[in-house]
Amino acid sequence: MTEQLDALGRYSGPATLILSSLAGGAKHGYALMQDIEAFAGVTLRPGTLYGALSRLEGMRLIESLAGDGRRRPYRLTDPGAAALDVQLSAQRRVCDVGLQRLATEWEIS
């Protein structure tokens, strides 16, 4: 599963944010941007967001739902949830090591 998000290369950051947002439920593009800004403090520009949504949908990590008018919601798929779990677990390991080293070597807690 990790190779799925690794295959996104420099786009893995936006993909992780989008998948994390969709883990909380289906959302359309504007709601995704608002949620990501609220929980991560990151503003995804529309081109970045919709490009990532297209790639994630092509990889079957998300799927689009029937929309009402112009809004087209997306939801996380089972493979998307599994890929997100692997990605976040790897990020957690990096965070844990970095925080431990800061506490040990720099006395920052």
pLDDT digits (tens, 9 = 90+) for 48-92: 999 999 999 999 999 999 988 888 999 999 999 999 999 999 999
Instruction: Give domain limits for the chain.
Output: 2-105
Chain centre to alpha carbon of residue 47: 16
What pLDDT does 107 receive?
Answer: 87
2-105 topology per CATH: Arc Repressor Mutant, subunit A (1.10.10)
**Residue range 6-17, pLDDT digits in tens:** 665 665 899 999
What pLDDT does 4 receive?
Answer: 65
pTM of the shown model: 0.87
What pLDDT does 109 receive?
Answer: 75
Exposure string for 9-46, b = 16+ CB within 10 A, e = fewer:
eebebbbbbbbbbbeeeebbbeebbebbeeeeeeebee
